[in-house]
Amino acid sequence: MINIPVLRWGVPYESLETDEVIHHRTGEVLASVGQANPGLLARDMRKAARAREVLREIPIKDLIEMMKKAGDLYLNATLPLGDGEQTPDDFARQQSASTGLPEHMCKFNMEKNHFVLNHMDQIFDALTRGLDLEILQRGFGVEERGVPVSYQAQSPVLGMVLPSNSPGVHTLWMPVIPMQIGLVLKPGPQEPWTPYRMFAAFTEAGVPKEAIGIYPGGGDMGAETVSRCGRVMIFGSTQTVKNYSGNEQVQVHGPGYSKILLGDDVVDQWEDYLDLMADSIYKNSGRGCINCSGVWASRHTDEIAEALAEKVGPYEVKDPTDPEAGLAAFTVPGQAEAIWGMIEEGCKESGTTHVTEKHGARLEQMERCDYIRPTILHCDSPDLKMANTEYMFPFTSVVKCPQEKMIEKISGTLVASAITNDETWAAQLTDATNIDRLNIGAMPTIALNWLQPHEGSIVDFLFNARAYQTPDERLQRLCAQ
Amino acid sequence: MADLDTQIQEARAAIDAHVADIVHWHFSPETGCSFWLDWARDAGWDPAVEVKCLDDLLAKFPNFQDEWLRDKQPEVWVPKAFLGKPFNIFETGGTTGMPKQRIGWNDYKVDYSEFSDTLDDAAFPRDHYWLMVGPTGPRRLRLSIEHLANVRGCSCYFVDLDPRWVKRLIKEKQFDQAKAYMEHVVDQATTIMKNRSVSALFTTPKLLESIAERYENEGSSLYDAGVRGVFCGGTTMDPQYTRFLCEELLENKIGFVPTYGNTLMGLAKHKPLTTEDKYSITYYAPQPRALMRVLNPETGAPVGYGEWGRVELTTLTKEFFMPRFLERDEAIRREPIEQYPWDGVAEVRPFGALTKKIVEGVY
């Protein structure tokens, strides 16, 4: 068992209160994680400005190089972790054991994180839309077109209240350090692994440890992170999203409700897109916000639902170490049972059919964890309760809805893959403000282009673009330095 | 160890004798109050005759019902020996609706005079001023702290905090309002501290954090502000939190005296912290005037030493008799020590704290 301390601006602090991270199948204690009391963060935030100061002493281009090196270390090196060490294989095994995600998916996530770190220059260029790094570093400068611009950091640190159930979200905070903004990380109780391994990789690559604090703890620690950091990213339910609506200090990442929309012009050839639909539902355990939770079409929906059920319904629960394992365990006691209860309740509504029923029981309960096998419902109206639902396993409702009503009825949608050649409809989809990421054409919802911002640009969140006027002579002198 | 065993036996003998004396007092028509005399008549047995020791009391009395303190008029609790003497009406902490009320005359002075004898004069200088920042109003605590300052030769300033309002704000998710109220309280406290000479502070842990933070944001500290001793109570103080208070806010330079208690029982004193304690605070009831036990919530039997259970309080004074009241707290049962040769309760926290969300707020 590894003892993992609180990190107060990089300095280990042995808390007297600890929380055990448990293997979801064997019950083995994987780590004992020191718990921070909120007062620690309150005090440490008085030194938050220092986190940005130490980063500003390093040019952004050098920090970007450090990120590339850190990516390699994260993927390949044995790194310190608490009072022990961690190999890359240890990391994947530990992450799988505590989150329930199959090991090969944890390794895939490592590759993804490595990709982001290793392509930080390109990602940075995409996020800043080609901004000269010197301008971000200095806070002002002159764009290529000759116009003075200024970017003002809104907080010396970004607070991250991280989830336990989705290791994929960590890519969101990786560009923050090269933006010369410090990090205050509150890990999810079951996923301390990525924040600590990233800290080890970052600092070994040259990032000053004073730029990062890691404060594990309970709900009160999350609330303290939100209240103390000038900019915070949190992950939560639809209710959480509503709670922080309009709060410019908080960026909330909620459920995705991502969907595939089949246009009337292609729906008769729906079989051509079956693999694409199944991949969008099932890949990476169906747990992500970009996994498809709804397939919408105006006709053939019964057949589509049957075919999807035939394809994904038979998938079995496999050991998390099995390279073929496709399902992630629910490691929070009672969670899977509660979710399945909601689905059963929803299926009682007339017009809603559980199509995977014939492929055996969906809920599989084990001693310390549970699984829900892939589940496909059919809804013969977009107004049914289950027509717009998302759960953290491969789950999709195939919804019958006229094309002309789809944009209105799908509500908030993180990723919409609209398969159509109808340019009129495509234009309407492009204008739809309830769709965040839009794919037009035969593209799975899970296909991410890392060079395009995800759910709101981190640059816009952390920096304020503002007017900045000064005599030309001063501007040119300072920009020439 | 033999000495401690002897002390334990002596303490046990003392409480046995005290129980017999107090029960006889409350259940005798010449001295008892109407509530207990009526209760005994309805129960069909005579405690004045049948209760001769602590075990008798624990075996024969059911749990005290706190509803009695809400539903009954205060006169029913007046022992006949106190008839005609005006009494204080004290209310319990942060509840809403009709509060529990306990009447009293002199008990709080006895508790706090005895408590004063345990305080270190270096941390709580005699003849110097106190400040109480916490629930005043109808609470016994307000008069108690003033008495404590008085018996130590000086006076006390007060800043009120209404815990009922804070709980309501938190329950209604009006967190901004709760924060603003907290700031309002801290404003008043630091105004007193900056304009008057105060060396001893009574407050709740959360308010202590906020007051310290205010000073530190101004580049100062509680120590620089002249505070030499902090007497703290009111909410959970687990080991990590206690360490945080001692190391970071009090800088290991300010005396720290955590206490556990309430209007119904009185004041439980803490075992002075040593390195071996690892900031785990153990409290000891003011025996024989009150008794604390830690019970298995399922069986009602005492848990073993080092085990968690629900706290049960018994108050045994001539002013007030409260047998076996189940407190809404849980704690670890700890062994007797030389200073207090009877069971202690440690790491007190709200009952069920691990399984449900408890609103403690700033109080």
Out of A16, A17, A39, closest to residue B209 by CB: A39
Residues of A with Cβ-Cβ distance to B240 under 8 angstroms: 15-17, 35, 37
Question: How many pairs of residues across A and B have Cβ atoms under 8 Å apart?
Answer: 28
Determine whether the interchain pair A46/B278 forms a contact, defined as Cβ–Cβ distance below 8 Å.
no
Q: For residue A244, what pLDDT band results from cuts at 50, 70 and 90? A: confident
The per-residue pLDDT for range A161-220, each reduced to its tens digit, is 998 877 778 988 999 999 999 999 999 999 999 999 999 999 999 999 999 999 999 989
B168 contact A CB<8A: no
In a domain, B280, yes or no: no
Q: Which residue do the tokens 């394992």 mark?
A: A325
Q: Which residues contact A423 (CB under 8 A, 6 or more apart)?
A: none
Position A454 scores a pLDDT of 56
Q: Which residue ranges does chain A devote to CATH 3.40.309.10? A: 258-440
Q: Where are the alpha helices (DSSP H) in A218-334?
A: 219-228, 238-243, 274-282, 301-312
Summarised one tens digit per residue, pLDDT across range A280-309 is 999 989 988 899 999 999 999 999 999 999
Q: How many separate domains does chain B show?
A: 1
**Has residue B51 been placed in a domain?**
no
Residue B196 located in a structural domain: yes
Is the Cβ–Cβ distance between B163 and B361 less than 8 Å?
A: yes
- Quote the domain boundaries for residue B228: 106-258
pLDDT at A324: 94
> What is the rounded distance in angstroms from the CA atom of residue B23 to the CA atom of residue B19?
6
Does residue B233 sit within a domain? Answer: yes
Q: Residue B266 domain-assigned? A: no
Residue B153 lies in a domain: yes
Look at residue B1 in the predicted model and tell me its pLDDT: 52
Question: Is the C-alpha dihedral spanning B194, B199, B204, B210 positive or negative?
Answer: positive
Q: Do A17 and B238 touch (CB under 8 A)?
A: yes
CA–CA gap between residue A60 and residue A63 (Å, rounded): 5
User: Is A136 in contact with A418 (CB distance < 8 Å)?
Assistant: no
Q: Kindly report the three-state secondary structure assignment for every residue of B202-250.
A: EECHHHHHHHHHHHHHCCCCCCCCCCCEEEECCCCCCHHHHHHHHHHHC
Q: Assign A453 a pLDDT band (cuts: 50, 70, 90).
A: low
Q: Do A42 and B209 touch (CB under 8 A)?
A: yes
Element (H, E) at B39: helix B34-43
Instruction: Kindly identify which residue of chain A lies nearest to residue B242, measuring between CA atoms.
Output: A16
**Contact check, Cβ <8 Å, A16/B240:** yes
Tokens 């969140």 belong to which residue? A461
How confident is residue A449, by pLDDT bands cut at 50, 70 and 90?
A: confident
The first and second tokens of residue A240, run together, are 């959480």
Among B240, B245, B249, the strongest candidate for a mutation testing the A interface, having the largest count of A CBs within 10 A, is B240
- The per-residue pLDDT for A51 is 98
- Residues A59 and A137: their CA atoms lie apart, in Å, by 7
In the block, which residue shows the tokens 């400068």? A141
pLDDT for the residue numbered B114: 95
Q: List chain B residues with pLDDT less than 50.
A: 356-363
The predicted pLDDT at position B356 comes to 47
**With contacts defined as CB-CB under 8 Å, which chain B residues touch A15?**
240
Q: Which residue of A has its CA nearest to B173?
A: A243
- CATH code (residue B164): 3.40.50.12780
Mean pLDDT of the residues in chain A:
94
Q: Compute the distance between CA of residue A431 and CA of residue A165 in angstroms, rounded to an integer.
A: 33
Q: Which residues 42-61 on chain A approach chain B with CB closer than 8 angstroms?
A: 42-43, 46
Residue B359's pLDDT is 45
Q: A84-103: buried (b, 16+ CB within 10 Å) or exposed (e) per residue?
A: eebebebbbbbbbbbbbbbb
The amino acid sitting at A479 is C
Cα separation of B139 and B131, whole Å? Answer: 16
Nearest to B229, CA basis, from B310, B156, B135: B156
Q: Which stretches does DSSP call E strand in B222-320?
A: 229-232, 255-258, 260-262, 266-270, 282-284, 290-295, 308-316
- B 291-310 → A contacts, CB under 8 A: none
Q: Which of B238, B244, B279 sits opposite A39 (nearest CB)?
A: B244
- Ranking A375-389, A447-461, B313-327 by mean pLDDT, the lowest is A447-461
Distance of alpha carbon A24 from alpha carbon A29, whole angstroms: 10
A18 vs B: CB within 8 A: no
A40 interfaces chain B, CB cutoff of 8 Å: yes
Model confidence pLDDT, tens digit, residues B140-177: 999 999 999 999 999 999 999 998 999 899 889 898 99
Cβ <8 Å between A17 and B216: no
Token pair recorded at residue B190: 């630091």
> Considering CB atoms only, which of A15, A17, A43 is closest to B248?
A43
What is the structure's pLDDT at B231?
95
The whole-number pLDDT of residue B95 equals 61
Count CB neighbours of B38 within 10 A.
12
CA-wise closest residue to B264 among B114, B48, B96, B66: B66
- Every domain range in chain A assigned CATH 3.40.605.10: 2-253+460-480
Whether A37 has its CB under 8 Å from any CB of chain B: the answer is yes
A16, A43, A46 ranked by CB distance to B243: nearest: A16
Q: Omega before B288 cis (within 30°)?
A: yes
CB of A242 less than 8 A from some CB of B: no
Q: Which CATH architecture has domain A2-253+460-480?
A: 3-Layer(aba) Sandwich (3.40)
Length of chain B measured in residues:
363
Distance to chain A for B136, nearest Cα, Å: 25
The rounded distance, in Å, linking the Cα atoms of A477 and A475 is 6
Q: Is B238 on the interface with A (CB under 8 A)?
A: yes
Please answer whether residues B247 and B234 qualify as being in contact, where contact means their C-beta atoms are separated by less than 8 angstroms. no
Instruction: Identify the residue among A11, A16, A19, A247 best suited for mutation to test binding to B, counting B beta carbons within 10 A and taking the highest.
Output: A16
Architecture field, domain A258-440: 3-Layer(aba) Sandwich (3.40)
Question: How many CB atoms within 10 Å of residue A25?
Answer: 18
B221: in domain? yes
Per-residue pLDDT reduced to its tens digit, A50-89: 999 999 999 999 999 999 999 999 999 999 999 999 999 9
Burial of A297 (C-beta count, 10 Å sphere; 0-12/13-18/19+):
buried
Question: Rounded to whole angstroms, how far apart are CA atoms A242 and A262?
Answer: 30
The count of other CB atoms within 10 Å of the CB of residue A460 is 14
Coil, strand, or helix at residue B33?
A: coil
- Within a domain: B253: yes
**A125-151 pLDDT, tens per residue?**
888 888 999 999 999 999 888 889 999
Report yes or no: B276 and B268 within 8 Å, Cβ to Cβ.
no
